[in-house]
């Protein structure tokens, strides 16, 4: 802060101006003073000092391109399916005039680690990563102990949520010798606009991002990591961009070890989440 000094007015005493000199000087005789009746205005206050720094206006955060988007995650199968065969074997619509069983038990590693547990764990990890970016996440099932839902209902959940992307998470169980690697399925031929370019682009983005994160494309199914399918109910019945990721072959010892470990599931989830974010931002 800068101090401001004001001039001190001369001191009037008994109508005479008192003068002081240096030490040893002889005071001069006082001169006559003429008294005026007009009064002087009080000294005006100095103008306020301007601050040296002008405060910056508040900064409004720029929303990310993915904030507010909706993603439906569909962890394949369910932990209670095996104990309810009548319920999961009943036929439901599967699109293209077909019917299929409501759901299945899924596969497992040779050591018995089930696909339904793997897909649920990975989906939860993917969902958390997306939610942390402001993306609204909807799951087709909320636990790993229930039954279903049926494949037609899973597709309906994505449609009802008006999802920007629907991603089903699975693992394969091929017994073919040496079968390994992931692949991404999409509906073909497309039955609506969402199953056309948007779903194809979602599938390609999943394939490219997983490959960039060190996962190898399947050597036993599909072409270059992509698989056009006309028999998957969840894809046939979707009116939103949708794709299904088969993360790898659970019957392959190397891939089974990766799927069984928590760190391996973290790697799968990180790649899938990054792919979904890239798709939503594009």
Residue 246 annotated among the catalytic residues of the structure: yes
CB burial string 44-74: b at 16+ within 10 A, e below: eeeeeeeeeeeeeeeeeeeeeebeebbbbbb
State the catalytic residue, choosing from 115, 246, 255, 277: 246
In the chain, what's the furthest Cα-to-Cα distance? Answer: 129
**Extended strands (E) in 133-182:** 136-139, 165-172
Interhelix angle for 253-260 vs 262-281, to 10°?
80
**All residues at 6 or more sequence positions from 41 whose CB lies less than 8 Å from its CB, including other chains:** none
Q: What is the spatial distance between Cα 41 and Cα 67, in angstroms, rounded to a whole number?
A: 65
- Read off the tokens for 60: 């409004």
Catalytic residues: 246
């Amino acid at each position: 802060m800068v101090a401001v000094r004001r001039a001190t007015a001369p001191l009037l005493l008994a109508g005479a101006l008192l003068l002081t000199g240096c030490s040893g000087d002889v005071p001069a005789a006082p001169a006559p003073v003429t008294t005026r009746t007009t009064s002087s205005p009080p000294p005006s206050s100095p103008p306020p000092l301007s601050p040296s720094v002008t405060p910056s206006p508040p900064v409004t955060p720029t929303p990310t391109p993915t904030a507010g988007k909706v993603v439906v995650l569909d962890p394949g199968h369910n932990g209670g399916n095996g104990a309810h065969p009548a319920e999961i074997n009943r036929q439901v619509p599967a699109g293209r005039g077909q019917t299929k069983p409501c759901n299945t038990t899924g596969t497992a590693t040779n050591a018995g680690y089930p696909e339904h547990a793997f897909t649920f764990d990975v989906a939860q990890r993917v969902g958390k990563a997306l939610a942390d970016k402001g993306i609204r996440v909807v799951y087709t099932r909320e636990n790993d102990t229930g039954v279903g839902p049926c494949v037609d209902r899973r597709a309906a959940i994505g449609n009802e949520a008006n999802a920007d992307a629907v991603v089903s998470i699975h693992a394969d169980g091929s017994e073919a010798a040496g079968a390994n690697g992931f692949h991404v399925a999409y509906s073909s031929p497309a039955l609506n606009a969402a199953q056309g370019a948007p779903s194809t682009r979602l599938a390609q983005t999943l394939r490219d991002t997983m490959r960039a994160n060190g996962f190898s494309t399947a050597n036993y199914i599909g072409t270059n990591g992509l698989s056009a399918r006309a028999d998957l109910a969840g894809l046939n019945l979707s009116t939103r961009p949708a794709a299904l990721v088969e993360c790898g072959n659970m019957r392959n010892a190397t891939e089974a070890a990766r799927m069984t470990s928590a760190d391996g599931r973290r790697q799968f989830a990180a790649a899938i989440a990054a792919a979904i974010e890239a798709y939503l931002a594009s």
